[in-house]
Amino acid sequence: MDQIKQTCLHDKHIALGALMSPFGGFDMPIQYTNIIDEHNAVRHDCGIFDVSHMGEVLISGNDAEKYVQHIFTNDIAGAPAGKIFYGMMLYPTGGTVDDLLVYKKGENLFFLVINAANIDKDFDWMKENSKGFDVTIDNQSESFGEVAVQGPNAEHYIESILGIECHELEFYTFKEMQVGDEKILISRTGYTGEDGFELYGSHDFTRSTWDKLVGSGKVKPCGLGCRDTLRFEVGLPLYGDELSADITPIEAGLGIFVKVDKPEFIGKDAIVKQKTDGITRKIVGIILDDKAIPRHGYDVEVDGKVIGQVTTGYNSISTGKSVCMALIDANFKKLGTAVQVRIHKKLHSGVVTKKRFYEKNYKK
């Protein structure tokens, strides 16, 4: 068992009295006060998350663009510097190695942001698949800190409290800027369905950013508990729940991020086959008639037959409804299909619905 890691903000979480729990190999804050208040702060005002556990990998070299096109499902060809893409790395089977963000920093220079639990696996995968490419793959995960500042007032607080100009950034773009004696990176991205930003920099920069925003009393420290309820409500996937080595992006309903018209990428053949032949399983949304809570792994049934399992479920904080995403037999994927979820031995009825249980409020 590897020793559990700490982020550069660990002592601050302890000082705030956070409930801590292991996540992705790190000892992370689940909540500071309670999940509902933290969730609502992000929906209606502003919250800050320590996401320093995320991994960062810099890809450079003459073949950097060609290489990223090879391992990544989205199409970055010809993109301007400052643009960000969401997509996946796939196995040849079409199963998912990880979902990630690719930041184009410049010609043949890319910054990849990957899931904490997958850092070692992804880095190995990137190296294994770099043969024949003139690239340098640099795992910089340990030198970066990262905070996500999320909510409708995020722009205002970043500009007024940190003095970092960000209103001109469009959704899924970033800029690098000088702050003190270091270059930091700020992007208009997030994982909550709200407008917001992510700031990458040294541990010192991350600590001082945290102190200024939290110390202002305006920006609420938010734990991974509400990060999950927020992303879930707007239908965003979590690797391990809605995506895995066993679940393809097509099955997860994320085909828009897989560009099969690209000449080549790992997993393309399997994806093309799935798109041609159709899929046998699909991630759908289910809304229950009552308030019982469907949780990861619970069975979904129709007429006494198990047709799949819940991937993530909650009593949605923003809507009050009990809802879940579930990977089910594609024969039952049609919206409005009556299904049941087995919760504490009892069957609870619901219907198949869209995965977006709450509308996103991105600033585009």
Residue 44 or 167 having the CB closest to another protein: 44
Residue 359: DSSP 8-state: -
Is 44 a binder of another protein (CB under 8 A)?
A: no
Piece of 34-42, 68-76, 212-220, 323-331 that binds another protein (CB under 8 A):
34-42
Q: What share of the chain is helix, strand, coil (3-state, %, to 5)?
A: 25, 35, 40
Widest distance between CA atoms in the chain: 65
Amino acid at 245: A
Count the residues in the chain.
364
Handedness of CA 78, 81, 86, 90 (dihedral sign): positive
Q: Which of residues 14-33 bind another protein (CB under 8 A)?
A: 19, 30-31
User: CB 225 → another protein: shortest distance, Å?
Assistant: 6
35 in contact with another protein (CB under 8 A): yes
How would you class 229 by CB atoms within 10 Å of its CB: exposed for 0-12, middle for 13-18, buried for 19 or more? Answer: buried
Q: Which two tokens stand for residue 94?
A: 């079409």
Q: Name residues contacting another protein, limited to 208-227 (CB under 8 A).
A: 225
Which range touches another protein (CB under 8 A), out of 142-150, 172-180, 185-193, 338-346? 338-346
Question: Using the rule CB under 8 A, which residue among 89, 147, 292, 307 binds another protein?
Answer: 292
Using rule CB under 8 A, residue 318 touches another protein: no
CA dihedral over 324, 191, 153, 46, signed as positive or negative: positive
Which residue in 334, 285, 263 sits closest to 66, CA to CA? 263
Contacts of residues 14-19 at CB distance under 8 Å and 24 or more positions apart, as own/partner, are 16/214, 16/221, 18/221, 18/223, 19/223
Please tell me whether residue 238 binds another protein under the rule CB under 8 A.
no
CB closer to another protein out of 7 and 312: 312
Among 83, 295, 342, 363, binds another protein (CB under 8 A): 295
Residue 254 CB partners (closer than 8 Å, separation 6+): 88, 99, 237, 243
Mode of pairing for the β-strands spanning 281-288 and 346-353: antiparallel
Task: Indicate whether 42 belongs to the interface with another protein (CB under 8 A).
Answer: no
Using CB under 8 A as the binding rule, whether residue 140 contacts another protein is answered as: no
Does residue 293 belong to the site contacting another protein (CB under 8 A)?
A: yes
Nearest approach, Cβ of 154 to another protein (angstroms)?
23
Contact call for residue 252 and another protein (CB under 8 A): no
Q: Closest separation between CB of residue 322 and another protein, Å? A: 7
The nearer residue to another protein, 31 or 52, going by C-beta atoms, is 31
Note whether 314 binds another protein by CB under 8 A: yes
Question: What is the dihedral angle through the alpha carbons of 21, 22, 26, 27, rounded to the nearest 10 degrees?
Answer: 30
The residues binding another protein (CB under 8 A) are: 19, 30-31, 34-36, 225, 229, 291-293, 295, 314-315, 317, 322, 343-344, 346
